[in-house]
C-alpha cells in the first residue's frame, strides 16, 4: 500500500462485519482498548441477527475527540470477512476509506465500493487455519494489520492484545501473541511498515472514563438507589440487566432471580416489593405485554415497582435484535382500567443511571408502577462516560410508617384517603399494620367493596397521586437555537443523532431547537410549551404510527405543528439522513 500523505484521524468510524460467530466483536474490543489508551471517546454498537451462529453480523466502533452518541455517517475502516459485508456496507465507506477484505472465499465485490477507496485483500481465515490451526485466529491477524494502517507502534499493539486476553490461560495468550506477529508480517508484505501507515490516530489527554451500556447503567442505578430484588426472564435486548444484577446484587445482600417466564417475574417482584425490598423487573415488548395484568395489580394495590422495557421491533416476536420505539402506547395506556403510572425515557447511559435512581425513588413515593422506556440501541450500545457520582445519590423512602408510628395511631387504614392520594404505609408484618392486598376494588381498610360512592373515591384517590410529582419529574434536555422556529423532539436512541444532525443543519443555515424529553408520562408542561413556541416541530421516532407525536397531541400540544420523521426498518438514523429529511421537509414547504 503506497502512502502519499498521512492523514490525522480525529473521528474514526470502524465496522467489522461477517457471519455470526466470526469474532467481529473481538476486533472491536481490541480497537476499543487502543482508542481508550489514546484518550478518545467511544461509541460501540452492533447489528446482529437473532440467531446463535451465522447470518450477517456487524460490530461498529466510533472513536472521536469529542463525545458522540451515535454511529457516524461514513465508514472509514471496514473489515469485511465475506462479500456480503461489502454488499451491505460498501455504500457507506468513505471515499478515502480503507477496506480490509478476507479473500478466503473469493474476491471482493468491488462494484459496491467507492472507486477511490483502498482495498487490502488478504485471505485471513485461510491463513489462520493453514498456519495456526484455528479460524478464530484471523482476528489477531486482522488486528496486526489494522494497527499498521492506524500508524500504531507494534509494542502498543502487543500490550493491547495482552490486556484483552489477560484472563485467558497463558498458552492462549501466547498463541494469540504469535498470530499478532504474523499479522505484522502480513502488513509488511503489503507495504505497511511499522509507524508508516496511511493514517495517524490522534492522541488526546486521557480522562477518567468508563465504557458502559444502558442496561448496565440501569442495573448500577438500581443498586445505588437501594434496589435489592430483581426478577426477570432472559429476552433480547433486556437480558444484560439480569446478568449484571445476578453478578452484583448478592454482594449487597440482594437477590436476582431468573423466573420461568415474565408472568412469574413480575409477580415475584410484586411480592418482594410488598415486604420492603426495592424491586424491579425488565423485559422487552412481548414480555411487557405478558406483564400487563401484574402492572395493573401494582397500580390498583398501590405497590411500588420499577419496570424496564427494552423495546425492540415488533409486533409479536418481531425482530428481537433491532431497535424500535413502538411500545409507547402500551407503557402509557396499557393494563386494564385507570391507574397512575410514570414513564421515564433515558437517552444515554448517564441518563439510564440517573433515571434508574429516580424511578426507584418515585415508585416508593407514588406507591405504584414506574416504567423506564429504553430501546435496543440505548439498552445494548456502549459508550465512554465520566464515572457516575455515587455520592450524589439520594434514597427516598416515601410515606412509610415505622412500628412506633403505627402503634401511636388509633387505627391503621392501608388505603386512607388523603389530599394527595398517597396513604401512609406500614410494611406487612408490622405489629398493628395488618391489611389486605387484593386486585379487587376496596375501601380504605382494604376490604373488598363495590359500593359506587366508594369506587369513585378510590379511583380519584389513586389518580391524584401523580399530580403531586409534576414539578419533580425529570426535565428534558434542550440544546440548539432556543429562538428557532423549527424544533426537533425525540427520545431514547434519537438523542445522539439529533445532537449531530442539529450541527449539520446549523452548518446548512437552518437553525433548530432540540428537546429530548426524559419524562414521557405524564407529559411535562415544558414539552407542551416547547411545541407551542415553534412553528414546526419534527418528531423523530422509530415506529410506524408516530406514537410520540400522537401522545403529545393528546395532551394539548398543537397537532398542526407536529410533523413525523419516522423509521421502522430496524436500523438507526444516521446524522446526515436525519438532517436531509428535515431539509427536504422544509424545502417542500417553499
Regarding whether 81 and 53 lie in a shared domain, the answer is: yes
Taking the C-alpha atoms of residue 1 and residue 119, their distance in angstroms, rounded to an integer, is 9
| Number of Cα atoms under 13 Å in the Cβ half of residue 386 | 4
For the cut 90, the answer to whether the pLDDT of residue 287 exceeds it is yes
> Is the alpha carbon torsion for 490, 493, 496, 497 positive or negative?
negative
Regarding whether 104 and 195 lie in a shared domain, the answer is: yes
Regarding whether 173 and 146 lie in a shared domain, the answer is: yes
Q: To 5 degrees, how large is the angle CA 248–CA 250–CA 256?
A: 80
What pLDDT does residue 194 have? 78
Return the number of other C-beta atoms located less than 10 Å from residue 578's C-beta. Answer: 26
- Percentage of residues in the chain having pLDDT higher than 70: 98
The band of 1, judged by pLDDT with boundaries at 50, 70 and 90, is: low
Q: What is the mean pLDDT of the chain?
A: 94
Model pTM? Answer: 0.95
Task: Give 319's DSSP letter.
Answer: B
Enclosing domain of residue 495: 477-589
Best CA proximity match to 28, nearest among 42, 9, 8: 42
> Which residues lie below 8 Å from residue 379, measured CB to CB, with a gap of 6+?
213, 214, 215, 237, 238, 240, 310
Which domain-ending residue is among 167, 201, 235? 201
337-355 pLDDT tens trace: 999 999 999 999 999 999 9
Mean pLDDT of all residues in 107-120: 88
What pLDDT does residue 383 have? 96
193-229 pLDDT tens trace: 877 778 888 888 888 999 999 999 999 999 999 999 9
Contact 520, 331 (CB under 8 A): yes
446-490 pLDDT tens trace: 999 999 999 999 999 999 999 888 888 999 999 999 999 999 999
157 versus 19: the higher-pLDDT residue is: 157
- Residue 424: Cβ-neighbour burial (10 angstroms; 0-12, 13-18, 19+): middle
Taking the C-alpha atoms of residue 102 and residue 106, their distance in angstroms, rounded to an integer, is 8
Strand partners of residue 313: 319
Assign residue 334 the CATH number of its domain: 3.40.50.970
Best CA proximity match to 317, nearest among 248, 235, 194: 235
What pLDDT does residue 359 have? 98
Contact 358, 474 (CB under 8 A): yes
Regarding whether 186 and 109 lie in a shared domain, the answer is: yes
Strands 210-213 and 199-201: unpaired
Mean pLDDT of all residues in 562-569: 98
Q: Which three cell numbers stand for residue 415?
A: 388505603
Number of folded domains that form the chain: 4
Helices and strands (H, E) in the chain, number of each type = 20, 24
Q: Establish if 82 belongs to a structural domain.
A: yes
Q: Establish if 237 belongs to a structural domain.
A: yes
What pLDDT does residue 4 have? 57
Return the number of other C-beta atoms located less than 10 Å from residue 483's C-beta. Answer: 9
Q: How many residues does the chain have?
A: 590
For the cut 80, the answer to whether the pLDDT of residue 54 exceeds it is no
Helical pair 154-164 and 170-189, crossing angle rounded to 10 deg: 150
> Which residues lie below 8 Å from residue 60, measured CB to CB, with a gap of 6+?
13, 14, 15, 16, 28, 44, 45, 46, 47, 71
What pLDDT does residue 197 have? 75
Contact 159, 36 (CB under 8 A): no
Regarding whether 520 and 481 lie in a shared domain, the answer is: yes
Best CA proximity match to 269, nearest among 242, 226, 299, 229: 229
What pLDDT does residue 221 have? 98
Regarding whether 84 and 132 lie in a shared domain, the answer is: yes
Mean pLDDT of all residues in 380-393: 95
Q: Establish if 206 belongs to a structural domain.
A: no
The band of 512, judged by pLDDT with boundaries at 50, 70 and 90, is: very high
Assign residue 23 the CATH number of its domain: 3.40.920.10
* Minimum mean pLDDT range among 45-59, 134-148, 374-388, 423-437: 45-59
What pLDDT does residue 20 have? 80
Phi-psi domain of 351 (left: phi exceeds 0; alpha: psi -120 through 50; beta: other): alpha
What pLDDT does residue 53 have? 66
Regarding whether 507 and 405 lie in a shared domain, the answer is: no
Strand partners of residue 279: 229
Regarding whether 222 and 95 lie in a shared domain, the answer is: no
Strands 7-9 and 342-344: unpaired
Task: Give 103's DSSP letter.
Answer: G
Regarding whether 237 and 165 lie in a shared domain, the answer is: no
What pLDDT does residue 555 have? 96
Q: Establish if 391 belongs to a structural domain.
A: no
Which domain-ending residue is among 152, 181, 201? 201
The band of 9, judged by pLDDT with boundaries at 50, 70 and 90, is: confident
Mean pLDDT of all residues in 52-58: 78
Q: Establish if 393 belongs to a structural domain.
A: no
Which domain-ending residue is among 430, 446, 470? 470
Regarding whether 505 and 454 lie in a shared domain, the answer is: no
Q: Establish if 180 belongs to a structural domain.
A: yes
Return the number of other C-beta atoms located less than 10 Å from residue 585's C-beta. Answer: 15
302-347 pLDDT tens trace: 999 999 999 999 999 999 999 999 999 999 999 999 999 999 999 9
For the cut 70, the answer to whether the pLDDT of residue 411 exceeds it is yes
Regarding whether 253 and 171 lie in a shared domain, the answer is: no
Q: Establish if 487 belongs to a structural domain.
A: yes
Strand partners of residue 426: 401
Assign residue 576 the CATH number of its domain: 3.40.50.920
The band of 401, judged by pLDDT with boundaries at 50, 70 and 90, is: very high
517-559 pLDDT tens trace: 999 999 999 999 999 999 999 999 999 999 999 999 999 999 9
Q: Establish if 395 belongs to a structural domain.
A: no
What pLDDT does residue 52 have? 62
What pLDDT does residue 448 have? 96
Regarding whether 489 and 441 lie in a shared domain, the answer is: no
Taking the C-alpha atoms of residue 151 and residue 199, their distance in angstroms, rounded to an integer, is 6
Amino acid at each position: 500500500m503506497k502512502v502519499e500523505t498521512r492523514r490525522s484521524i480525529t473521528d474514526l468510524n470502524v465496522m467489522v462485519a461477517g457471519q455470526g460467530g466470526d469474532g467481529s466483536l473481538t476486533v472491536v474490543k481490541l480497537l476499543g482498548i487502543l482508542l481508550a489508551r489514546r484518550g478518545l471517546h467511544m461509541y460501540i454498537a452492533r447489528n446482529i441477527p437473532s440467531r446463535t451462529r451465522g447470518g450477517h453480523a456487524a460490530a461498529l466502533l466510533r472513536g472521536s475527540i469529542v463525545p458522540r452518541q451515535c454511529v457516524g455517517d461514513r465508514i472509514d475502516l471496514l473489515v469485511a470477512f465475506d462479500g456480503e459485508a461489502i454488499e451491505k456496507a460498501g455504500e457507506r465507506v468513505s471515499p478515502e476509506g480503507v477496506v480490509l477484505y478476507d479473500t478466503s472465499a473469493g474476491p471482493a465485490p468491488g462494484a459496491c465500493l467507492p472507486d477511490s477507496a483502498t482495498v487490502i485483500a488478504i485471505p485471513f481465515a485461510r491463513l489462520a487455519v493453514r498456519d495456526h490451526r484455528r479460524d478464530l485466529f484471523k482476528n489477531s491477524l486482522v488486528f496486526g494489520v489494522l494497527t499498521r494502517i492506524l500508524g500504531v507502534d507494534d509494542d502498543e499493539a502487543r500490550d493491547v492484545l495482552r490486556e484483552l486476553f489477560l484472563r485467558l490461560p497463558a498458552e492462549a495468550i501466547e498463541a494469540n501473541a504469535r498470530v499478532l506477529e504474523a499479522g505484522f508480517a502480513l502488513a509488511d508484505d503489503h507495504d505497511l511498515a511499522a509507524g508508516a501507515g496511511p493514517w495517524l490516530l490522534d492522541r488526546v489527554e486521557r480522562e477518567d472514563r468508563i465504557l458502559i451500556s444502558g442496561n448496565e447503567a440501569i442495573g448500577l442505578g438500581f443498586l445505588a438507589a437501594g434496589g435489592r430484588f430483581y426478577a426477570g426472564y432472559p429476552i433480547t435486548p433486556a437480558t444484560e440487566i439480569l446478568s449484571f444484577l445476578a453478578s452484583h446484587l448478592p454482594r449487597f445482600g440482594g437477590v436476582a432471580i431468573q423466573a420461568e417466564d415474565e408472568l412469574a417475574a413480575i409477580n415475584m417482584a410484586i411480592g418482594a416489593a410488598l415486604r420492603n425490598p426495592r424491586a424491579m423487573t425488565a423485559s422487552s415488548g412481548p414480555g411487557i405485554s405478558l406483564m400487563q395484568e401484574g402492572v395493573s395489580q401494582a397500580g390498583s394495590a398501590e405497590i411500588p415497582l420499577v419496570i424496564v422495557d427494552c423495546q425492540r421491533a415488533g409486533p409479536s416476536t418481531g425482530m428481537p435484535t433491532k431497535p424500535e420505539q413502538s411500545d409507547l402506547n402500551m407503557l402509557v395506556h396499557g393494563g386494564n382500567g385507570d391507574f397512575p403510572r410514570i414513564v421515564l425515557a433515558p437517552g444515554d447511559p448517564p441518563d439510564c443511571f440517573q433515571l434508574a435512581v429516580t424511578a426507584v425513588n418515585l415508585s416508593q413515593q407514588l406507591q405504584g408502577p414506574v416504567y423506564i422506556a429504553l430501546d435496543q440501541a440505548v439498552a445494548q450500545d456502549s459508550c465512554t462516560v465520566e464515572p457516575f457520582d455515587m455520592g450524589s445519590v439520594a434514597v427516598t423512602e416515601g410515606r412509610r410508617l415505622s412500628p412506633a408510628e403505627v402503634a401511636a395511631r388509633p387505627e391503621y387504614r392501608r388505603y386512607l384517603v388523603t389530599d394527595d392520594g398517597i396513604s401512609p404505609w406500614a410494611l406487612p408484618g408490622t405489629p398493628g399494620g395488618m391489611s389486605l392486598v387484593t386486585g379487587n376494588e376496596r375501601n380504605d381498610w382494604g376490604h373488598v367493596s363495590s359500593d359506587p360512592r366508594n369506587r369513585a373515591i378510590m379511583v380519584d384517590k389513586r389518580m391524584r397521586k401523580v399530580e403531586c410529582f409534576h414539578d419533580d419529574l425529570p426535565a428534558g434536555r434542550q440544546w440548539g437555537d432556543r429562538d428557532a422556529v423549527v424544533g426537533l423532539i425525540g427520545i431514547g436512541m434519537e438523542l445522539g443523532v439529533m445532537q449531530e444532525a442539529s450541527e449539520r443543519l446549523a452548518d446548512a443555515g437552518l437553525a433548530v431547537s432540540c428537546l429530548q424529553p426524559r419524562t414521557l408520562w405524564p407529559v411535562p408542561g415544558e414539552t407542551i410549551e416547547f411545541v407551542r413556541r415553534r412553528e414546526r416541530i419534527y418528531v423523530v421516532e422509530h415506529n410506524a404510527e408516530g406514537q410520540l407525536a400522537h401522545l403529545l397531541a393528546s395532551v394539548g400540544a398543537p397537532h398542526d405543528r407536529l410533523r413525523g420523521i419516522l423509521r421502522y426498518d430496524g436500523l438507526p438514523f444516521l446524522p446526515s439522513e436525519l438532517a436531509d429529511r428535515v431539509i427536504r421537509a422544509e424545502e417542500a414547504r417553499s
